[in-house]
């Protein structure tokens, strides 16, 4: 049984701009193939293959493939089908979710419901990462999330998509639902939406269902490659000996660490790349299982991830430092402490703006200046020492902290230039300062200074 309107919809979504498509038909130990640029011709030809699995390419094929034997027709045992080298560029990023079940059987309703929950979690997670809305399709036994992209067909992008799918597998695969990490290749074929599943026997408990679209966004927008790279970067790599880990070459014993630190481990499950240890609670946000987990890759790499946005900045290094503050060097400890302060959600300390009372004095006399112990003041060294000794005892008693500046102004012809430099330095650093001069400061000097920032005192 074929739903012709859904196939036309599939063509309109994915093939409007790049119409050349290979349809591939599998089943009963046979393989059929055909290349088409017209959806009506394709539909007419596949009607005879009810009971087979019908698939199609999802990326842009090179025009030269249209010259193969199966031009606008379906043939058995084709000499050539679409290879990775036949793809011009990628237009679709496919995420394929299927519930775990025995081979050559269809999914039950309960199994499909679990796959749907996982699909919703992935959609929300990727939206939080900056992804556009996907096309969502019921693939008969699972779900397809199809994101619009434009990626050159180069090895770097193949590796990117591969790592991206491995991260989703790491985060979302479970004993009940798996993310298919094998669909990263550019020439991947996918269920032709509108056709029926041909697996197993059609039973009430495990029926052969029709595939269809669940959701198509009004505006189907491309996902920026930067967001794909962002998610792919979460794939952990083995930690190399460095100053951060005191050049340790030992393989980290994660089970001993969990036991020694009393970390609650709710569940363990396998994914295609390693072991997932689901935590009772996230140590950074308090989020309950199954939202945070440790991942031990087959390569030896270890990762920590929490699915909540508030914890996105905490990884394995921060997780380990949380329980073992001496695990890394001092720089890493300080960086972790900074992150905890910044992302803790506590209100940041703010400084009230300085408001000038326009009715107050612009110039102050010495009696207006409150005495402060000079040893507690932060000073700017003038570099002038010989003339300081000649300063009067009276001035030392009144303003010992500023006597260097006063003596510089009275004993050198460049006093005003020195004052200018000091005041400019204070202005640029945007701090409060006070200058007392033993001589009047000219209007020209005053006009170049920030009167709101600096208080001048004159005798």
Query: What are the residue boundaries of the structural domains of the chain, listed by start?
Result: 4-232, 243-343, 363-458
> Which of 64, 59, 14 has the alpha carbon at shortest distance from 39?
14
Please tell me the predicted confidence (pLDDT) of residue 415: 52
Q: Which residues is 279 bridged to in the sheet?
A: 265
Please tell me the predicted confidence (pLDDT) of residue 434: 57
Please tell me the predicted confidence (pLDDT) of residue 433: 57
> Which of 92, 43, 41, 83 has the alpha carbon at shortest distance from 64?
83
CATH number of 4-232: 3.30.70.1790
* Count of helix runs (H) and strand runs (E) in the chain: 12, 18
27: left (phi over 0), alpha (psi -120 to 50) or beta: left
E strand intervals along 37-142: 53-57, 60-61, 75-76, 87-99, 135-138
**How open is the CA angle 133-168-174, to the nearest 5 degrees?**
120
Please tell me the predicted confidence (pLDDT) of residue 339: 84
Angstrom distance (rounded) from CA 11 to CA 22? 12
Please tell me the predicted confidence (pLDDT) of residue 121: 96
Please tell me the predicted confidence (pLDDT) of residue 299: 86
Please tell me the predicted confidence (pLDDT) of residue 77: 95
Please tell me the predicted confidence (pLDDT) of residue 382: 53
Segments of the chain with pLDDT less than 70:
241-250, 344-369, 374-459
| Whole-number Cα distances in Å, 319 to 50, 86, 170 | 54, 45, 18
Please tell me the predicted confidence (pLDDT) of residue 401: 43
């Amino acid at each position: 049984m074929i739903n012709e309107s859904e196939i036309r919809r599939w063509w309109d979504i994915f093939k409007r701009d790049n119409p050349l498509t290979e349809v591939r038909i599998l089943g009963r130990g046979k393989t059929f193939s055909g290349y088409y640029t017209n959806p009506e011709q394709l539909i007419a030809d596949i009607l005879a293959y009810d009971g087979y699995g019908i698939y199609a390419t999802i990326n842009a094929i090179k025009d030269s493939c249209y010259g193969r034997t199966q031009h606008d027709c379906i043939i058995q045992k084709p000499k050539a089908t679409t290879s990775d080298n036949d793809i011009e560029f990628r237009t679709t990023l496919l995420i394929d979710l299927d519930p775990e079940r025995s081979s050559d059987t269809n999914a039950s309703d309960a199994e499909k419901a679990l796959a749907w929950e996982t699909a919703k979690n992935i959609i929300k997670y990727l939206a939080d990462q900056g992804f556009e809305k996907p096309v969502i399709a019921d693939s008969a036994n699972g779900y397809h999330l199809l994101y619009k992209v434009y990626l050159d067909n180069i090895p770097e992008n193949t590796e990117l998509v591969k790592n991206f799918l491995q991260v989703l597998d790491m985060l979302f695969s479970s004993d009940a639902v798996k993310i298919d990490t094998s669909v990263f290749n550019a020439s991947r074929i996918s269920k032709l939406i509108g056709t029926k599943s041909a697996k197993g026997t059609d039973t009430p408990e495990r029926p052969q269902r029709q595939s269809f679209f669940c959701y198509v966004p009004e505006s189907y927008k491309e996902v920026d490659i930067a967001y794909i790279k962002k998610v792919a970067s979460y794939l952990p790599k083995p930690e190399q000996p460095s100053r951060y880990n005191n050049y340790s070459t030992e393989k980290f014993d994660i089970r001993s660490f969990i036991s020694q630190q009393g970390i609650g481990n709710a569940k363990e499950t396998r994914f295609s790349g390693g072991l997932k240890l689901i935590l009772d609670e996230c140590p950074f946000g308090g989020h309950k299982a199954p939202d945070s987990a440790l991942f031990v890759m087959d390569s030896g790499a270890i990762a920590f991830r929490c699915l909540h946005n508030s914890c996105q900045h905490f990884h394995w290094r921060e997780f380990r430092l949380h329980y073992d503050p001496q695990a890394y060097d001092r720089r890493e400890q300080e960086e972790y402490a900074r992150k905890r302060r910044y992302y803790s959600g506590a209100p940041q300390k703010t400084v009230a703006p300085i408001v000038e009372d326009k009715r107050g004095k612009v110039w102050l006399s010495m009696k207006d200046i409150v005495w402060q112990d000079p040893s507690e003041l932060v000073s700017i060294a003038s570099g002038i020492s010989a003339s300081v000794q000649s300063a009067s005892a009276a001035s030392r008693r009144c303003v010992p902290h500023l006597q260097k500046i006063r003596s510089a102004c009275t004993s050198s012809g460049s006093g005003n230039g020195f004052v200018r430099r000091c005041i400019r330095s204070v202005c640029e650093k945007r701090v409060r300062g006070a200058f007392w001069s033993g001589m009047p400061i000219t209007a020209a000097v005053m006009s170049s200074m920030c009167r709101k920032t600096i208080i001048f005192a004159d005798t």
